[in-house]
Structure 1
Amino acid sequence: MPATIRDMGDEGLSMQARFEVTKKYAAAYESASKKQKGIILDQVVAVTGWNRDHARQQLRARMRQPKGRATATVAVIDRRRTKGCKYSYNARKVLQSVWATSGGLCGKYLAASMASWLQAMEAEGSLVEDQGRYNAEVRAELLAMSAATIDRYLAPTKATDPIRGKSTTRPGTLLRNSITIRKAGDEVETEPGFFEVDTVAHCGPTLKGEFCRSVNFTDLHTGWVFTRAIRNNAAVHVLGAFDHFIDQVPYMVTGIDCDNGSEFINHDLIG
């Protein structure tokens, strides 16, 4: 066993000197008894200022250092191995396809609805067992993935090909002063008849080209919902959706609350 290391006090040691200390005591540490290892470890801690766990790690690293590198001054601080992926490469690739089909759901929603998405894609023919990367084992892996795992695996895909919603609302300046403004702090309606109204563009990540839209009416008191598909936000289509809404709602409409988009803020709709 080597002699006791001299206490350096407040002078401290350089990083290279600390590595030399651990290299000097590594051989003795490897062949020492449990009690002797504790003494060596105490000495290394006292001189280097490292905590015991880090000092032990460095001693073991020097023990594993191959021959011919004894004079090396650069040491690997952390030799912990990178944890391997729990799920297969095929499962991670199929996960990307399911995520894209779902419209970019977050991990929590995708994990909860994974079985439904797989069943739908199988029925549609996007996923066929034993074809491509999809098989029974991959299906089981996808169903076993947690929300956090899904988000972690999809992070690179989301960064390179993000699917983000597009806003089609354009503020309308007409009649703004003649329409009653409802504030967030106003009292909630205590009876049916007051509806929140909004349009949704089913366009995916781009607003280019033709795509379907829908006008959604939601009763604040009961939660009753009426939805009407329209070709675009032209007045004739929006007014037609309102006409169908009035015909179909099973009780009297007492008010509507919409955003300030020009599809709602216009003379035709107010009339």
Structure 2
Amino acid sequence: MSERRAVTKAIATRYARSDRAAKKQVLDELCATTGWHRDHARKALRLALVLRPVRPPAPRSPLYGEAVIEALRFCWAVQGTPCGRLLAAALPDLVPRLRRFKELQIDDATAAQLLRIAPATIDRRLKADRVKLDPRGRSHTKPGTLLKDSIPMRTWAEWDDAVPGFVEIDLVGHEGGNSRGEFCFTLDITDIATGWTETRSVRNKAQKWVFAAIKDATAAFPFPILGIDSDNGSEFINWELLTWCKQENLTFTRSRSGNKNDGAHVEQKNWHIVRQTVGYHRYDTAGRAGLAEPDLGASAAADESFRAAAKAPGEGPDRRENQQDLRPTRNSVSTRPGRYRHRLPGRAGTAAAGEQTPEPCSHPASDPGTKRRTPGADQRETGHQSPARYPGKTK
């Protein structure tokens, strides 16, 4: 029947536009092809051109009720509004702890459903709540086309991340959803091999301030900088930065236009360090410029110990004369300094020299709801406190 309907639909327009003799010939062809009677074939040709309304299928009843979604929304806020994949992986440990501390008062059936929910369902059911978060502006990258042909491109697959010293740089805007006027930016510089990250606040995207922040941040790294990779913004693609890289014998590359994955390392730090600490509020005054740089209180002793460890194999100067001796392998950089260099405000500091860094654990005796309701240093100073990120108890 489907083949007959397809043939009828294909010749219905020709049948309607033909004269009497041609219609007779078309009708004979259709009857010979389908085996229909002439009256039925004539009726089928007329109905083939009639538009029929298609009724949408009846919606399926939701599997998870409002009680499950309300509990899911609370867990999502406690974890810091992650994506569905990360939240689904954290629920088996988070839900029992919240119930133990009576932060999440649900029955066993609701808890069982909460643990079975899929990551795609989490993203779909929390889509409206994600829109209500703090305002987020559009990208501020304006391409600089003057020097793009002089700077080679490098993709995410071409990095040798076993060699410390190659960094990715990016700017994070703090416009608070309103891009008018002048507002502050945070310069984020991340080493690909070790994850070591330095941040500096700049008053705007002017080449003068961005270049000064780059020089100050790269000088604070515990190992020599070998290469810089940036996006195609005009704050990076300029003669001043290119000339400085040539003078310092630095490899200067850029990513492809519209491919944020080429700078995946610094993009991840933009969220984990800058956005999680500073947020999406607007910083547009001199007093707030310092708040745009995450004050994460890294231990000076840990910094000096790592600098000494990085310098020890070659016992040479800090610059690049003996840079081949300052290239530890991936296994030799066991402390992963970027992991402890930056942390959220209010948490325990990095291990000082001579202290052992504790191994990550689930901390079953701690209440995650209470920790999430405690505002950090940036919220205490600015007065901002998002209810989605610091929730109360739910029943």
User: Which range, TM-score by smaller chain?
Assistant: 0.3 to 0.5
Question: Normalising to structure 1: TM-score of the pair?
Answer: 0.47
After TM superposition, the score normalised by the length of structure 2 is 0.35
Higher RCO (CA-CA < 8 Å; seq separation 6+)? 2
